């Protein structure tokens, strides 16, 4: 693509019931069900409530299945199976903008209603929808073009997933594909795509986070502490790994709070029920089981602190940030 090439702009409809879109929606809901099951299952297992695991799995599957069906109904009734978008292909990259009035109105309505009704989940959905009304990739990123000529579509993929679907028209498909390929070749975007998928690494550490949090629930049970702290730590540790590195500060603060509460409980002086006038501290009564719980909790906390510090120092880039960097070259 030469420096004199004018931007190519076109407006078209994305078919919401295409195989690619339905596959992405279904995978998203399956992942949602799996994540819910793992989080709830970890809490149940940590409290030795194994009988609750089937119920949690059913709840997670039912919630994800309901969302999946609701999404299909919204696509069919509200959007009538398609969404209007505009593409701008220029020298620096490709911009996709949602120009569908229904989609834009729904995002704004969800934000307003969520704020007025005091429902952060609904307001958050509106904010996310608004933020995705305009998305783009830059040729300085790391992705390759995968043509789908039968659907007049081009998938822009990094090392593990599709970053953007570019829906062309039958008339401009060949020109768009040629321009994208020329831009990728000129800027070396395909050469920056790493060979292996990062997903196994993130799945491994996601499971290690679950294991590291199990003894934290054991500490709460042993020292009669509120389980809110380990739940908070678990959720924000996973968010640090997958989404935003700054959440690592919440993990470290939660662990510091938990350590303080355990130490305060052990240091508390109690009056003996069997020897009036005598007192003792929790440290004096520690036994083998107590040391095991403290050791496992300490090992889990050490791993979580290590992971959080790596993310905060930029040595561990969350998967969402990696994908964003692949899109814009950041």
In this predicted structure, what is the pLDDT of residue 198? Answer: 92
For residue 147, give both structure tokens. 């043509």
Better-predicted residue by pLDDT, 101 or 313: 313
For all residues of the chain together, what is the average pLDDT?
83
Least confident of 57-71, 83-97, 231-245, 259-273: 259-273
In this predicted structure, what is the pLDDT of residue 326? Answer: 92
Hey, where are the domains in the chain?
A: 1-13+83-196, 17-78, 199-328
Strand partners, 156: 145, 164
Backbone angles phi, psi at 78, to 5 degrees: -75, -45
Work out the pLDDT band at 284, boundaries 50, 70, 90: low
Instruction: Tell me yes or no: is domain 1-13+83-196 CATH 2.30.29.
Output: yes
> Within a 10 A sphere around the Cβ of 31, how many other Cβ atoms?
11
Pick from 4, 220, 219: nearest CA to 91: 4
> Within a 10 A sphere around the Cβ of 180, how many other Cβ atoms?
24
Backbone angles phi, psi at 81, to 5 degrees: 80, 5
Give 208's contacts (C-beta < 8 A, 6+ positions apart).
303
In this predicted structure, what is the pLDDT of residue 271? Answer: 60
Instruction: Give tens-digit pLDDT for 304-322.
Output: 999 999 999 999 999 989 9
Pure H helices in 118-227: 120-131, 173-187, 199-222
Instruction: Give tens-digit pLDDT for 102-154.
Output: 555 555 554 454 444 554 444 444 445 444 567 899 999 999 999 999 999 99
Work out the pLDDT band at 3, boundaries 50, 70, 90: very low
Backbone angles phi, psi at 95, to 5 degrees: -110, 135
In this predicted structure, what is the pLDDT of residue 270? Answer: 63
Contact of 227 with 48, CB cutoff 8 Å: no
């Amino acid at each position: 693509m030469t420096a004199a090439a004018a931007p190519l702009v076109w407006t078209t409809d994305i078919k919401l019931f295409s195989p690619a879109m339905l596959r992405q929606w279904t995978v998203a809901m399956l992942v949602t069900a799996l994540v819910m099951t793992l989080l709830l299952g970890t809490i149940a297992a940590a409290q030795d409530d194994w009988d609750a695991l089937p119920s949690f799995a059913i709840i997670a599957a039912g919630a994800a299945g309901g969302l999946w069906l609701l999404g299909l109904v919204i696509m069919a009734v509200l959007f009538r199976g398609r969404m209007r978008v505009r593409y701008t292909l220029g020298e620096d990259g490709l911009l996709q903008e949602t120009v569908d009035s229904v989609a834009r109105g729904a995002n704004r309505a969800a934000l307003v209603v969520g704020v007025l009704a005091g429902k952060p989940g609904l307001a958050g959905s509106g904010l996310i929808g608004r933020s995705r009304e305009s998305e783009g990739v830059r040729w300085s990123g790391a992705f390759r073009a995968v043509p789908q000529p039968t659907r007049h579509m081009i998938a822009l993929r990094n090392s593990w997933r599709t970053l953007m679907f570019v829906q062309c028209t039958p008339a401009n498909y060949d020109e768009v594909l040629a321009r994208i390929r020329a831009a990728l070749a000129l800027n070396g975007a395909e050469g920056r795509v790493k060979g292996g998928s990062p997903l196994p690494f993130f799945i491994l550490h996601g499971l290690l986070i679950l294991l590291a949090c199990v003894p934290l629930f054991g500490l709460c049970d042993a020292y009669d502490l509120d389980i809110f702290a380990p739940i908070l730590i678990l959720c924000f540790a996973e968010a640090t790994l997958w989404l935003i590195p700054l959440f690592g500060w919440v993990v470290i603060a939660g662990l510091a709070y938990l350590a303080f509460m355990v130490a305060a409980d052990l240091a508390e002086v109690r009056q003996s029920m069997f020897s009036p006038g005598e007192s003792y501290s929790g440290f004096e009564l520690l036994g083998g089981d107590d040391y095991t719980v403290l050791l496992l909790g300490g090992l889990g906390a050490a791993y979580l602190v290590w992971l959080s510090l790596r993310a905060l120092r930029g040595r561990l880039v969350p998967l969402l940030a990696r994908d964003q960097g692949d899109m814009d070259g950041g």
